[in-house]
Every structure is written in C-alpha cells, then in structure tokens.
Amino acid sequence: MSQINVAHLQKSYRVHHKEPGLKGSLRAFVRRQYQDVRAVDDLSFTIDEGEVVGFLGPNGAGKTTTLKMLSGLLHPSGGQLQVLGYTPFERRNDFLRQITLVMGQKQQLIWDLPAIETFEVNRAIYEIPDDLYRKTVAELTELLNLEPLLTKQVRKLSLGERMKCELAAALLHSPRVLFLDEPTIGLDVTMQANVRKFIAEYNTRHRATVLLTSHYMADVTALCKRIIVIDRGKLLYDGDFQALVERVAPHKIVRIKLEQPIERSALEPYGTIDTLDGVEGSLLVGRDETSRVAARLLSDLPIVDVTIEEPPVEEIIGELFSGGALAKTNAEAPQLTVS
C-alpha cells in the first residue's frame, strides 16, 4: 500500500538577480530584476509502507525542498502529493501526528535543559498518553542507549549524543513516516553505525516508512534497497540499488598482495589492471568471472592474499550524475525506471 504519492511535483522560487558593483546596486535599487528558479521539476514517485528509500542527489538537487513539501513546511508550485492520504501543506493535526522530519543540521532540543525536558514538551504537544509515553521512552532509551544522557543539559552533550536524543525526541509520537535529512552528518564512524542500526531496528519494529537523504554512501548501502536519484529537481533514477550497481559497474575489484613484485604483463591475462605498486595491485574483473580469476591467481602467481570488492558507490552515483550511467541503464535495463 502506497503511503507517499508524488505526481509531477514542482517548486519554483522568484529570486532577485543583481549585477556586481556599484552600478549594479544602483540599477537594482531603481529597477529590480528577478529570475525564476525551479528547485523541483516534474518529480513523480510512490513509496509503500515499510520501505526504506534512499533519496540522493548533489548539493542543490532539490532533496531538502522535496522533504519540506512532503512534511508540509512548503507549499508546492504545481503537481500533486499525498502522504498517508493527506495533503501535507494543509497541516492537519492527524497528519502531523503520524510523520516526523529530522534534519541533521537543525535541532529541536532545548539547549539549556536536559533532553528529557524536551521529551516532556513533545509529549504535551502530541498529547501522548502517560502510559504510552513511558513505554516509548523506555523503548527508545534501550535502542539508543540514552540512559546516561537524558538528565544532562543538551549543551553539554557531544554531537553524537545530541543526535541520538534528537532522534528520540522526533519519534516519541511513534510516527508512521520518517523523513530523515542527513541524520548522520558530522558524526564519527562509530556513531554513524549506531544511528544506522537504530533506524533499521525502528523500521523493523514499527514497519515505518523512511525516506532518507545522506551524502554518506555507507548510510544508503546499509539501509536502502531502493534509491531515488534527482539532479536539478529532475528524476534521474528510481529503482533497485544493487541492480544499478551491477549495470553501471559490470565489474568487481580483485585486490591482490604478492610475495614479491611482478611485471605488469604477468597480470594482464587475468583482467584489466587498475593499479600495481610493488607487491600490491588491483584488477577489474567481470562479475561472473571473479571467483574463477581469484582461483587462477592463487594457483599461478605468488599471492599472499586476495580480496574481492564492489566498486566504490560514490563513483557509481557520480557517473549517474554525469549522465554516463543513464545511457548504460537505458540500453541494458529497460525494465528499470529511469527518467
């Protein structure tokens, strides 16, 4: 069952345009010039209950603008959208009680008070019954290990500790739809992993629908089977993440460590040489050939270690932005939804 429906969504802004210098300032004072900037341009997609979908794009692609329209903070310039059967910008109470928007660079916690005090404020705002509130706080405290943090002033928490409390505050009312905008931004590797683990566990327990934006590809690979990619407000790709990886990058990387240096010519029969520096090297090998090639390498050459890796996801997404992946995907995988 679809919980998010977006059809031909558009959002435009009228922006003042001023030429540089004193003359430009005087001219702008007398006669202002404006230009229309389209942040979201004819965007369409649907998301079903319980899906965790990665929402990707470069800076300025329109991701945050789209999330703000989906959560009711912005009114669209055109098109249609529904979340849980509601029109978001009408901001009905029944709608707001079932969604949440978490922005990694914004905070809702009261700076000079302990986090538990903000929780109490949210309990009153959402009119959460006392027994349900206590049960939810206990569950979130367990999942996020909040016990030592709840009674500390927010300003004394580290960034990672504060982000965990932000997530808990945003989920006290048990929303059915989560819009997460860079929830791990600025966190260290360990804390990023903890936040990812929590989101996955929350999704499993509550069958919540999650739309996630992140510039950390580890977030996307760990949580999302499906991705939606936009650029300049337009849809580039909507489909299975792994299918995109396999079609855009039909090879894997075979990394080797040798007992002693060898000539490049000795590696050429096994694949396309990517790097070779002393006793370490890497080959690009077709996905169906990696096991056979690894066995041959171990048999034929003085190999100490062999590992097989996927190409970096950042490279694949980067190729999609550049347009090179679109041609491959259109030619090789017409069953995928590509705009």
Do the beta carbons of residue 113 and residue 154 sit within 8 Å? Answer: yes
pLDDT of res. 326: 52
- The answer to whether the pTM exceeds 0.85 is no
Do the beta carbons of residue 303 and residue 283 sit within 8 Å? Answer: no
Tokens read off for 134? 């206590």
**What is the average pLDDT value for the chain, to the nearest integer?**
89
Give the dihedral sign, CA 267/271/276/279: negative
Q: Could you tell me where in the chain the CATH 3.30.70 domains are found?
A: 250-309
pLDDT over 70, % of the chain: 95
Instruction: Tell me the CA distances in angstroms from 146 to 117, 130, 138, 281, 338, one per residue in order.
Output: 14, 19, 9, 45, 42
Do the beta carbons of residue 27 and residue 200 sit within 8 Å? Answer: no
Angle subtended by helix axes 159-171 and 115-125, to nearest 10: 20
For residue 239, the cross-strand partners are 227
- CATH number for 48-244: choose from 2.60.40.10, 3.40.50.300, 3.30.70.20, 3.40.50.1980: 3.40.50.300
Do the beta carbons of residue 80 and residue 9 sit within 8 Å? Answer: yes
pLDDT of res. 336: 41
pLDDT of res. 337: 42
Q: Mean pLDDT, to the nearest integer, of 180-208?
A: 91
Q: Mean pLDDT, to the nearest integer, of 273-298?
A: 93
pLDDT in tens, 309-334: 888 877 777 777 776 555 454 444 43
Q: Mean pLDDT, to the nearest integer, of 159-164?
A: 90
DSSP 230-275: EETTEEEEEEEHHHHHHHH--EEEEEEEESS---HHHHGGGSEEEE
Q: Give the N- to C-terminal CA distance of the chain in Å, as an integer.
A: 23
pLDDT of res. 149: 93
Tokens read off for 339? 């705009």
CATH of domain 250-309: 3.30.70
Q: Could you tell me where in the chain the CATH 3.40.50.300 domains are found?
A: 48-244
The SS3 assignment for 147 reads: coil
Q: Is the pLDDT of residue 94 over 60?
A: yes
pLDDT of res. 325: 53
Amino acid present at 224: C
